[in-house]
Chains A and B, each alone.
Chain A
């Protein structure tokens, strides 16, 4: 018999009425769901910080706060966690507040266990689908994106073949994680690629994640946990948002990196690791205020800077094609769609481009993505850059020639109208056309 999706699910019940919480836990655990209970938002936050849950079922009203604030804080710790809010008041305002905060579902008490189970099943199915789609896209994106970037690709391949640590710099969304994964794959290292986003983690939690802990090391440490340094043995440990590392944790990480060994929290036995470290940040990690210099130099054996997407427009075509291919193989991209994508500044970089393509492809009916199909509604306003349709590799003369030709085409070859649009005389326009012709003559 096929395994129910619920059997792979983990649920955090955030409810201060212990009888209700235990009842939910008893019914859902019988369906194979792994359930934990938190009776306060503080306890729930602590759970979210140290364990992975698919869904948090959250009562609106707890002694230490209300659901929306908790959801906002918890999302910072785990952006994939989904929330179902329960309340005894069927209030539109509450539903709107909950959804604005990031809740997926809103259930009214008295709770119907069958309805809850259906909601959870749908959520876990959706979560599985989006995870596999995201993973497919992540793996298929070519972080370089074009032949122009062959020099970067070649340098990164050389770096991948070495064993030294790497620091990747770049704006948010520029593909630092994708490049880190690419380096790991290219390196041929046999161990796994494991990653941790250091942003928003307090030192205790961060150290528990990195080094693991022994049973009883602290309140709530009910069982031994392996840390990421241990899990990444023979592979790569990717630390994203490295600039957010608490100062006190930097010293401990430095020691582990220098000596290649560490102890789990509460442990006495030394554990060795040969994980390669790749750190990434949008901040300047060479700034001693951000990262202590000894740790920086230990990690910065190789340094790679990813240029923002707006500075490598020549890569947009290839990156777009690789994302669309991963999302829906066989989908064609019409020239007008590609032109529209090229003209945006993409302040959110590849992540923003990917989001636009995911939304657009998910709603696409045929097999060709046109300009009209592009869901650019949520693209940052004012993001169109004048002249952005021209690649950075063009010279000024080439840009002028292309623009003149375009204006002429627009006016159907009418020299007077084209000259007027360009703000030059007809004579000057003829001269420019002659110059461009001679420049193109071999």
Chain B
């Protein structure tokens, strides 16, 4: 069952809203990684933010960011992550977001 033209427009509006918020959400993930790496936050919180954002980028069509977010999610999934790798991952995602080319 195809989406109606009205639904397509609604989806496009939702994507536009997400695009506006995406920069902030990526910064939230970076901050959570930094806090966890520095011992001021929980690894699990950073993991959840990365996990959630990976799923939403995939669903809303921002698929150029999804693979890198999935790598970040996997990096953060283990009890003692490689924090250097995690920081490098989120920086890569942010760079991709700023310059998709």
Interface size on B, residues (CB 8 A): 27
Query: Measured between alpha carbons, how far is A64 from B29 in the docked complex, in Å?
Result: 20
CB of B58 within 8 A of chain A? yes
CB-defined A-B contacts under 8 Å, sample of 10: A19-B17, A19-B56, A20-B60, A27-B3, A63-B48, A109-B55, A109-B59, A113-B7, A114-B1, A117-B3
CB of B23 within 8 A of chain A? no
Provided the pairs A30-B6, A88-B51 are in contact, do residues A109 and B58 lie with their beta carbons within 8 angstroms?
A: yes
CB of A274 within 8 A of chain B? no
Q: Which residues of B contact A (CB under 8 A)?
A: 1-4, 6-7, 9-11, 13-15, 17-18, 21, 25, 48, 51-56, 58-60, 66
Complex A-B, nearest 10 residue pairs according to Cβ-Cβ distance, in ascending order: A110-B58, A23-B14, A110-B59, A26-B10, A30-B10, A20-B56, A109-B55, A111-B59, A17-B52, A19-B18
Shortest A28–chain B CB gap in Å is: 8
CB of A118 within 8 A of chain B? yes
Shortest Cβ distance from B60 into A: residue: A23
Provided the pairs A17-B56, A19-B56, A118-B1 are in contact, do residues A61 and B51 lie with their beta carbons within 8 angstroms?
A: yes
CB of A121 within 8 A of chain B? yes
Query: Measured between alpha carbons, how far is A143 from B9 in the docked complex, in Å?
Result: 53
Q: Within the complex, which residue of B2, B4, B25, B66 is in contact with A30, where a contact is CB–CB below 8 Å? A: B4
For chain A, residues 317 to 353, give those with C-beta under 8 angstroms from any C-beta of chain B. none
Contacts of B6 in A (CB 8 A): 30
Shortest A79–chain B CB gap in Å is: 28
Query: Measured between alpha carbons, how far is A121 from B4 in the docked complex, in Å?
Result: 14
Q: Are A88 and B54 in touch, CB under 8 angstroms?
A: yes
Q: Within the complex, which residue of A22, A109, A114, A117 is in contact with B17, where a contact is CB–CB below 8 Å? A: A22
Shortest B9–chain A CB gap in Å is: 8
Q: Are A19 and B7 in touch, CB under 8 angstroms?
A: no
Known interface pairs A88-B55, A110-B66; 13 further A-B residue pairs with C-beta atoms within 8 A, sorted by A's residue number: A16-B52, A17-B56, A19-B60, A20-B52, A20-B56, A20-B59, A22-B14, A23-B18, A23-B59, A30-B6, A109-B55, A113-B7, A117-B1
Q: Are B55 and A110 in touch, CB under 8 angstroms?
A: yes
CB of A221 within 8 A of chain B? no
Q: Which residues of A contact B (CB under 8 A)?
A: 16-17, 19-20, 22-23, 26-27, 29-31, 61, 63, 88, 109-111, 113-114, 117-118, 121
Q: Within the complex, which residue of A17, A27, A114 is in contact with B14, where a contact is CB–CB below 8 Å? A: A27
Say whether chain A's binding surface is mostly helix, strand, loop, or mixed: helix
Q: Are B55 and A26 in touch, CB under 8 angstroms?
A: no
Contacts of B4 in A (CB 8 A): 30-31
Query: Measured between alpha carbons, how far is A117 from B3 in the docked complex, in Å?
Result: 8
Shortest B21–chain A CB gap in Å is: 6
Query: Measured between alpha carbons, how far is A17 from B29 in the docked complex, in Å?
Result: 13
Query: Measured between alpha carbons, how far is A27 from B9 in the docked complex, in Å?
Result: 8
Shortest Cβ distance from B22 into A: residue: A19
Query: Measured between alpha carbons, how far is A166 from B52 in the docked complex, in Å?
Result: 53
Query: Measured between alpha carbons, how far is A113 from B15 in the docked complex, in Å?
Result: 13
Q: Are B3 and A114 in touch, CB under 8 angstroms?
A: yes
Query: Measured between alpha carbons, how far is A109 from B52 in the docked complex, in Å?
Result: 11
Provided the pairs A19-B21, A63-B48, A117-B1 are in contact, do residues A26 and B13 lie with their beta carbons within 8 angstroms?
A: yes
Shortest Cβ distance from B58 into A: residue: A110
Contacts of A23 in B (CB 8 A): 11, 14-15, 18, 59-60
Shortest B99–chain A CB gap in Å is: 22
Contacts of A118 in B (CB 8 A): 1
Shortest Cβ distance from B56 into A: residue: A20
Contacts of B51 in A (CB 8 A): 61, 88
Query: Measured between alpha carbons, how far is A118 from B1 in the docked complex, in Å?
Result: 6
Query: Measured between alpha carbons, how far is A19 from B51 in the docked complex, in Å?
Result: 14
Query: Measured between alpha carbons, how far is A17 from B60 in the docked complex, in Å?
Result: 12
Contacts of A30 in B (CB 8 A): 4, 6-7, 9-10
Contacts of B53 in A (CB 8 A): 17
Shortest Cβ distance from A110 into B: residue: B58
